A and B are shown apart, each in its own frame.
Chain A
Amino acid sequence: MDDLLREVIDIFVAEVREQADRIAQGLLLMEQQPERIPSEIEEVYRQAHSLKGSSASLGVEELSQLAHHFESALLPVRRRQTNLTHEDVDLGLRAMDAAKLRVVGLQADSDVGLAEVRALAHMLETLAQQRQGVSTLVPQKTLSEETDPSNPLVKEDALPGKPSSADAPLSTPPPTEPDRAVVAEPLAAQVDASDTVRVQVEKVHRLLKHTDELRRLRGQLERHLGEVALLLRGSEKLKRQQQGHTDEAQRQHNEDLSHIVRGLRALRRDLLDDVETLQATTTEIDDGLRAMQLMPASLLKQPLHRASREASRATGKEVHLRIDGEDVFLDRALLEAIRSPLVHLVRNAVDHGIEPVAVREAIGKPAEGRVTVSFAQHGSLIEITVSDDGRGLDGARIREVAVERGVLTLAQAETLDEEGTYELLLRPDFSTREEITELSGRGVGLDVVNTAVQKLHGSLQVHSQPGQGCSFVVTAPLTVAASRLLLLEEQDHTFALPLQAVSRIVLPRRQDLVPLAGQTVCDIDGQPHTVVSLSQLLGQTHSSDAHARQPLLLLRGSSGIVIACDKLRGENDLVLRPLPVELRQLKLLSAVAIVPSGPVLFVLSPQALMQAAMHLRFLQDVRTRRKTVLVADDSITTRSLLRSVLESGGYRVRTAADGDEALRIARSEPIDLLVSDVRMPRLDGIGLLSRLKADSRTNRLPVVLFSGAKTDDDRERGLAAGASAYLAKSDFERGQLIDVVTHLLAGAS
């Protein structure tokens, strides 16, 4: 790397990114609002010209050429000789992406992005050459417009006597000697500007780390202050006791003690002053540093518009993207981290939410779909909503597919509300299945969005109105660094949970807690919730006993589970730090927070806690649940009879009226044994057996054929098909059936 470039590489990189972003933003704006082309193209041109100049001055020829050809290609548009096309915008956006990629390569002193930049420069050059023919046919703009020296947008090389680089024959490469008079300005402006200074984020972070230490010191000083106060109280007490004594030695002691007391009082005063000063200074520094990291949400405009534009062009849909609340400021790290999930949500809204034009028109909606991204600040939280006026989500179909895929049992699906249904889309085992999400109206990867949001200690909620549209609401702390935390104690250790992850805290009454099948269940608003203790989740105990008035935490998105802890320790705004590398595999921990006067706290991951709790509950269910026998028979009498016999034997019974239904239940629910009739409509017992044996989920299920036919042939045919036992209905004996079932289940386990 050239020495000059090395010296200013960070500034150059930031400048190029900014220029590329502004150009891209301008292109998108011109495409959406062609009436703004005359004003906007000047800004685009000015940025491109600066890019060309600064690149040339630092010897980065490839970027200089790229900017030059970009200018040349857009010159006819600038001169109103041709219209701006979608293809122009595409090419321009790609060129700016390539420029941003290239500076990453330059920073790493590598060729990364070089080929892309050259290829794009060539394409722009070709476009410019094609357009040169146009420029000869259309009258040129007035000379005064092009050459007014007072116009800051006029380039030096456009002045009389100087050949214009943009007007020059397009085969002529841009000047290899840098045009320093023009190009030095942006860089110099960055370095010398008196009102702004570029600071690397890393440096700000380093300072923030030290403010943590200042806070800790303040805590220590406060503790010392407490110790001094104690000493002072002791000394004053001693002094009072000494006051009754009259002999000389005692008087001397008394004077000495008075001296100590005066000294301690002065020390306490000084310490108090120091603590207050330190507190005020730390807060000032802290607030200042955090303010330096806040950036407007408007910086997300360009990527969101691009996502919407690309998706609508790819799908042929007409979409208008509106952004509200772009003047809300949020932490830079949050802005960067949230960008990708939001782009994904916008793309999904266009891809899968908004209906095709023909469909919209047919159902009376405006042809142009509407996607809105809105930013709103609520206290220390930011709420970002991505909504569309498309088809919405099909809850029934989502549940159906969830059952088919084994994500839910039929019973669970039947009781799941709409909110719970939509949350299925956020599960990795659900939403990554393209065919399912296509059916439900959403694209793949919502679990990825959800995970990204969780990492920000935020939450993602889905709302939908079928036929009217749907919205995804991201709620996250305004700053990534500091977060409002709920402090809780478990087995003498304090942990923290992001406050917005807790939807409710319940202090149960004794009668709300019911022991059930080895677990404790708490009734909350008439709904049973399994209690799982935090120490169980942390692997410190196996007990889930809960007692009256013990805090139970209901987490957002939890389905029928509450987490019990020993005590609540209140709320606190604490600075979060990433987990040290050595601990990142511990999924229950998401970050650490430093308490000013105390130890480091682990911040628990609500998502991981919920997953661990659900796993625990599942294990508990498996350990304690009664065996389930599925009875398949088309006769309701036989089904009722068998149910009665089996339930009296201690078994849980599910029933099916034919082979088809039995097959569906066996595939989607935990069934331990099947008792099946042979002759049934739709799918008979033998057909059912062969389907079960062919499916890896059910091929080990013991099957008792319970048939009206009792010939040896029938029996052999049944056993040959894979039945574990064959009982004839005519020989039915209550005890025999229980014996056979018990025997087979003992063998199976």
Chain B
Amino acid sequence: MSEGGTQDLTRLLKERAALLARRDTAQNQAILLPHVAFQSAGELFAVPLHFVVHASRLRHLTPIPGGPPYLIGVCALGGHLVTVLDVATFLDLRQRGLDDVTCCLVVSERGRELGLCAERLLGIEDIPPTACQAWSCGHAAVTQVATVLGKRFLILDLPQLLADPRLVEESL
């Protein structure tokens, strides 16, 4: 191949690469994953929207006699009877005392429901996959964090969370 031919090919490949890169970005932007974001113990958490079946103010929480500290009570919300989990304590991420828990997200996976208590519900965050990166807190329920507009969200892997031996009856 002549030198000019080589240059042409190089240019062509660069153009294609640029085109592909642009397309990837566009695709990535198109695949925004909606998450419900909430704050607990000063940390921001995000749980994929499709797991969330109800969100409301937390009222009438009944403490659990003899229960572990990460299960703060049970309550009935919108027809869902759930145990309420303090996810920050559960994941050993609580750096400070329990702030006022004001609301609760009811999440559901394969028919099993659980309440996640929160100090604040932040609303829906569209999180592009590119915003996510691996992260480790030593717990399989949080292996990724996402940074969106300067805020860091811990992405909850709900199936992993519910599969934790501490949340199944044999192991409590």
Contacts from A to B (Cβ < 8 Å)? 209-210, 212-213, 216, 493, 538-540, 577, 580-586, 588-589, 592, 594, 598-602
Contact = CB atoms under 8 A, between A and B. Distances in A.
A213 B82 CA distance: 13
A216 B60 CA distance: 11
A655 to B, nearest CB: 44
B81 A585 contact: no
Interface in B78-119: 78-79, 81-83, 85, 112-114
A416 B114 CA distance: 47
Contact of B65 (A212, A582, A602): A602
25 contacts: A209-B79, A210-B79, A212-B76, A213-B76, A493-B62, A580-B74, A580-B81, A580-B114, A581-B112, A581-B169, A582-B71, A582-B168, A583-B74, A585-B169, A586-B66, A586-B67, A589-B64, A589-B65, A594-B81, A598-B60, A599-B75, A600-B60, A600-B74, A602-B64, A602-B74
Nearest to A585: B172
Contacts of A581: 112, 167-169
A583 B67 contact: yes
Nearest to A594: B76
A602 B64 CA distance: 8
B170 interface: yes
B108 to A, nearest CB: 12
Interface in B27-53: none
B66 A582 contact: no
B79 A583 contact: no
B159 interface: no
B69 interface: no
B123 interface: no
A594 B75 CA distance: 9
Interface of B: 60-67, 71, 74-76, 78-79, 81-83, 85, 112-114, 167-172
Contacts of A599: 60-62, 75
B172 A582 contact: yes
Contacts of A540: 65
A110 B115 CA distance: 36
B81 A600 contact: yes
B76 A583 contact: no
A586 B65 CA distance: 9
Contacts of B66: 538-539, 586, 588
B71 A601 contact: no
Contacts of A216: 76
B74 to A, nearest CB: 5
* From A538, A539, A580, residue with most partner B Cβ within 10 Å: A580
A577 B83 contact: no
B74 A586 contact: no
A51 to B, nearest CB: 33
Contacts of A493: 62-63, 65
B170 A585 contact: yes
Contacts, number: 77
* From B61, B81, B112, residue with most partner A Cβ within 10 Å: B81
Contacts of B60: 598-600
A583 B170 contact: no
Contacts of B64: 583, 586, 589, 602
A216 B171 CA distance: 33
Contacts of B79: 209-210, 212-213
Contacts of A577: 81
Contact of B172 (A539, A586, A600, A601): A586
B68 to A, nearest CB: 9
Contacts of A586: 64-67, 172
A247 to B, nearest CB: 45
Contact of A583 (B61, B78, B172): B172
Contacts of A589: 64-65
* From A493, A538, A592, A601, residue with most partner B Cβ within 10 Å: A592
Nearest to A599: B60
B73 to A, nearest CB: 8
Nearest to A598: B60
A224 to B, nearest CB: 14
Given A583-B67, A585-B170, 17 more contacts: A209-B79, A212-B79, A577-B81, A580-B74, A580-B114, A582-B83, A582-B167, A582-B172, A583-B71, A583-B172, A584-B172, A585-B172, A586-B66, A586-B67, A599-B60, A600-B75, A602-B74
Pick the 3 closest A-B CB pairs, nearest first: A599-B60, A584-B169, A213-B79
Contact of A592 (B71, B74, B170): B74
Contacts of B82: 580
A539 B63 CA distance: 13
A210 B74 CA distance: 18
A582 B82 CA distance: 9
A600 B115 CA distance: 14
A582 B112 CA distance: 10
Contacts of B74: 580, 583, 592, 600, 602
Contacts of A592: 74, 81
Contacts of B81: 577, 580, 592, 594, 600
Nearest to B74: A600
A582 B70 CA distance: 11
A739 to B, nearest CB: 46
B169 A600 contact: no
B76 A600 contact: yes
A254 B63 CA distance: 48
A585 B63 CA distance: 16
Nearest to B78: A213
A582 B75 contact: no
A210 B76 CA distance: 11
Contacts of A210: 79
A458 B66 CA distance: 24
Contacts of A588: 65-66
A540 B76 CA distance: 24
A481 to B, nearest CB: 13
Contacts of A583: 64, 67, 71, 74, 83, 169, 172
Contacts of A580: 74, 81-83, 113-114
Nearest to B169: A584
Given A212-B76, A577-B81, A582 B62 contact: no
A569 to B, nearest CB: 14
Nearest to B68: A582
Contacts of B67: 583, 586
Given A580-B82, A592-B81, A601 B62 contact: yes
B171 to A, nearest CB: 8
Given A212-B76, A577-B81, A599-B75, A582 B169 contact: yes
Nearest to A209: B79
B109 to A, nearest CB: 12
* From B60, B85, B171, residue with most partner A Cβ within 10 Å: B60
A89 B13 CA distance: 83
A582 B60 CA distance: 19
Nearest to A538: B65
Nearest to A492: B63
A575 to B, nearest CB: 10
A582 B85 CA distance: 10
A481 B33 CA distance: 40
A216 B114 CA distance: 20
A672 B62 CA distance: 46
A15 B167 CA distance: 39
B96 to A, nearest CB: 25
A598 B60 CA distance: 6
B59 to A, nearest CB: 8
A493 B65 CA distance: 10
A584 B114 CA distance: 14
A613 to B, nearest CB: 15
